[in-house]
C-alpha cells in the first residue's frame, strides 16, 4: 500500500526557534497534502491543505505566518513552525491524497513537537 | 460541516470478545476511513470504504450509505488491539474526524 513518512518523529526545541517537519509520499505522487494537529486526548484538527505548486489553504484560526507550509514537489510537503512557543507543543500529522485514486488518503506516522 | 459521532467513547473488553464500534455522520460522503492510533501517537489507516463491506484479518468494516452509518468489528480481540479507533468521513474537500473510541482489551 501507499506509504507516507514524516521526519522527524520527535523533536524538542527551545522557545523562539523554528522547526521544520517533512512529509513525504514514498511510492506515489501526492497532488494534495493535509496537515493536522492533535492535542492530547482530542481528535485531529485540520490546519491546512496544500496542493503542489500553489499556496496552502489554511483553516480558520490557523496563523499562516506561524505555520509555514511548502509543497514544492509531488512527493514532499514541509511544515515549519516559526518562533515556536510552548503552546505549539503538539502532535502534528500529515496525510497525502493520490491524484489518481482521488478519494484515497494516506497518513504519516506523526511528529511530536515539544517546545521548552 | 459533517458531524461525525462515534460510539462508544470508551470500551473495555476481555481477550477473545467480539467488538463493535459505530460511526454515524450527518451528510453525504464520498468515502469513510477507519483509523487506528496507538498510545505512541502514530496513525494507521485500517480501511477506506464507500460502500458495502471490507475485511482484513480479524477486522471487518461495513458502511450503509442510506443510513449514514458505519461499523468496525474486531473478531477474537487481543490485547494488542488496544488503541484509539477513529472514524473519519471524506466529503470531498477534507476529512472530518470523530472523537475516537478508546479500546482496552484485557488478557
Cβ A43–B98 below 8 Å, yes or no? yes
Pick from A49, A91, A105: CB nearest B41: A91
Q: For residue B34, what are the CA distances in angstroms to A16, A110, B31?
A: 37, 17, 10
Q: What would the grid cell of residue B65 be?
A: 450509505
pLDDT by residue (tens digit) across B56-91? 999 999 999 999 999 999 999 999 999 999 999 987
The reported pLDDT for the residue numbered A52 is: 82
What gap in Å lies between CA B87 and CA A55, rounded to an integer? Answer: 29
Q: What is the CA radius of gyration of chain A?
A: 13
Task: Select the residue from B28, B95, B100, B101 to test the A interface by mutation, using most A Cβ atoms within 10 A.
Answer: B95
Q: For residue B47, what are the CA distances in angstroms to A3, B32, B55, B104?
A: 14, 8, 9, 20
Give yes or no for residue B28 having a pLDDT over 90: no
Cβ B95–A95 below 8 Å, yes or no? yes
Pick from B30, B35, B98: CB nearest A107: B35
A75 — pLDDT class (breaks 50, 70, 90): very high
**Which residue did the predictor score with more confidence, B16 or A30?**
B16
Provide the percentage of residues in chain A whose pLDDT is more than 70.
95
Residues within 8 A of B (CB atoms), A 27-86 only: 34, 38, 42-44, 46, 49
Cβ A103–B31 below 8 Å, yes or no? yes
Q: Which residues of A touch B98 (CB under 8 A)?
A: 43
Q: Which positions ≥6 away from A62 have C-beta within 8 Å?
A: A47, A48
Give yes or no for residue B55 having a pLDDT over 70: yes
Give yes or no for residue A70 having a pLDDT over 70: yes
Residue A56 DSSP code: P
Contact A29, A98 (CB under 8 A): yes
Provide the percentage of residues in chain B whose pLDDT is more than 90.
76
Amino acid at each position: 500500500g501507499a506509504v507516507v513518512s514524516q521526519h522527524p518523529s520527535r523533536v524538542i526545541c527551545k522557545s523562539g526557534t523554528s522547526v521544520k517537519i517533512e512529509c513525504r509520499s514514498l511510492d506515489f505522487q501526492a497532488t494534495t497534502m493535509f496537515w493536522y494537529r492533535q492535542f492530547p486526548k482530542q481528535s485531529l484538527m485540520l490546519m491546512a491543505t496544500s496542493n503542489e505548486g500553489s499556496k496552502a489553504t489554511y483553516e480558520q484560526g490557523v496563523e499562516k505566518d506561524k505555520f509555514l507550509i511548502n509543497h514544492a514537489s509531488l512527493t514532499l510537503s514541509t511544515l515549519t513552525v516559526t518562533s515556536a512557543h510552548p503552546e505549539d507543543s503538539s502532535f502534528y500529522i500529515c496525510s497525502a491524497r493520490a491524484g489518481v485514486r482521488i478519494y484515497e488518503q494516506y497518513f504519516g506516522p506523526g511528529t511530536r513537537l515539544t517546545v521548552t | 460541516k459533517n458531524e461525525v459521532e462515534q460510539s462508544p467513547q470508551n470500551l473495555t473488553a476481555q481477550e477473545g470478545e467480539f467488538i463493535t464500534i459505530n460511526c454515524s455522520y450527518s451528510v453525504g460522503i464520498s468515502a469513510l476511513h477507519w483509523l487506528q492510533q496507538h498510545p505512541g501517537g502514530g496513525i494507521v489507516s485500517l480501511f477506506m470504504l464507500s460502500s458495502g463491506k471490507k475485511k482484513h484479518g480479524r477486522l471487518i468494516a461495513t458502511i450503509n450509505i442510506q443510513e449514514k452509518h458505519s461499523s468496525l468489528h474486531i473478531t477474537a480481540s487481543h490485547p494488542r488491539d488496544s488503541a484509539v479507533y477513529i472514524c473519519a468521513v471524506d466529503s470531498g474537500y477534507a476529512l472530518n474526524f470523530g472523537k475516537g473510541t478508546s479500546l482496552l482489551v484485557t488478557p
